[in-house]
Structures are given as structure tokens and as C-alpha cells.
Amino acid sequence: MADRIMQLQSYDTFVRRKRFVLLTAILATIVIALFAVGSGSLHIPVPEVIKTIFAKGDAQSRTVIFSIRLPRVTAAVIVGAALAVSGAVMQCVLQNPLASPSTLGVSQGAAFGAAVGIIVFGGGVVNSDSAATAIAINNPYIVTLCAFICGLISTFVIIIISQFKKDLGPGGLILAGVALSSLFTGGSTLLQYFADETKISTVVFWTFGNLGSAGWTELLILAVVLFASLVYFLLNGWNYNAMESGADTARSLGVNTRAVMLISMGT
């Protein structure tokens, strides 16, 4: 009985520590975001940023913050949260602490898909004038769709490998991801070899990533997708807790591990 009480106390301490770390991270993110919104060629103090967000700032601050800086900073926060969630879910369902979109080849697969959308389907252009050269995505929807499909293909390849090669181990799964990354990187390089310099520049620009074109419409789409994914993961938290103990243990507790893995990796 005493051992049981000590275990419960230890678990409560563990939960409180996790909540404290999560709360600290959220507060730190908010503070850093406020400083980021105020930083730039036009410096805006944090108190002024807060006043402007609550519709009490001057016209210049409102224009700079709401039209330029706040959408970019918000996009960075949402994308960072989405990457964190995806990494945590991958590590849970694959039972591999090294699992992430970059180590398993998912990011490289998405980059290859974007290269297909830009080079093959003409989704990228470069607008040049006498003053500067601006690289832009001509058709962001076809590029996004191609990137999503190829990233999904890479994800399902990893799922198949993890299911049919159970003796592969965490290290072997990462090596399989590295091989998949090399395959997609080689495919992207091959496409660039046959493309003109305009499309190559656009592929490189897309690969680097850019938050400058983030608008409130795109942010709404990102936020809805992230919120829906979070709701699903939270509602199925018990299943993920069970899978942390191993697929066999989770199945013995009534968890459909195959369905959880397919939905989680696809999400």
C-alpha cells in the first residue's frame, strides 16, 4: 500500500512538472513573439505592440503590425506548433525517439513534390524588373498539393517498413529514413538538372521557406487544421499513452494500433 501511494505521488509530481514546463514554454513563446512583432526597421516597444493589438495604437503601428509583422510571427508560431505535434506523434506511434519528418524523409518527400509542382506543372515564376528580382509561387495550390502527396507517400513507405520489418529497430528505421531522404533528394536534383534557371530559383526559394507571403486567410487555414489535429490527438490521448508501452501492450488493452498509426502518420 505504501509503495502504491509513493507511485501515485511520483506520478502527480511528474504531471505537475510537465504542466509547469508547458506553461513556461507558452509564456516564453508569447514574450518572444511580442518582441519579434516590435523588431524591425521601425522599432515598436512591447507596450505599444500590446496597445496596438488591443486596437489602442496609432495608425502607423496598426499598419505595420497587422499588415506585415503579426501575420508572419503568427505563421511561425502555428507552423512551429504543428511541427512539434507531428514530431511527438511520430515518436509515439513509431516508438522511436529520433523520429521526425526530417529524419524519416517526409520533409524531403514534400520538397520533391514541390519541385514537381514547380518544374513539371509550372507552379513557380520569377518576376524581374530593373530594380530587383522577386521570386514567387505562381500557383501555390498545385505546389502545396504535390508536396502533400509526396510527403504522404514517404509517410506510408515508413509505415510499411515499420510494420513488416519489426526487427529493424529504431536505428534501422532511421537509416531507412535517411535512404528515403537520399532518394527524394536525388529526384529533386534530377528535376532541377532539366529545368531552366527560373524554375530552379523558385525551387530553391521554396525549399528555404518564407513567411513573408503569409496572410490572414492562409493563417486561418493553418489554424483550423492544427486545431482539428490537436483535438483529435487529445481525445485519443489514452490510445497514445497505451502505445507508449509498446504495440503489443496497446493491442492487449483494446487499441487498434494499425488504425491509430495510419491516422496519426497521415494527420
Which fold would CATH assign to domain 98-214?
ABC transporter involved in vitamin B12 uptake, BtuC (1.10.3470)
89-94 contact pairs (CB < 8 A, 24+): 89/233, 89/240, 89/264, 89/265, 89/267, 90/264, 90/265, 92/240, 92/243, 92/244, 92/264, 93/240, 93/243, 93/260, 93/261, 93/264, 93/265, 94/158, 94/162, 94/173, 94/261
Per-residue pLDDT tens over the stretch 248-260: 788 888 888 778 8
Per-residue pLDDT tens over the stretch 140-162: 778 888 998 998 888 888 878 77
Q: How confident is the model at residue 105 (pLDDT cuts 50, 70, 90)?
A: confident
pTM of the predicted model as reported, rounded to 2 decimal places = 0.79
Per-residue pLDDT tens over the stretch 27-72: 999 999 999 998 888 888 888 888 888 878 788 888 889 888 999 9
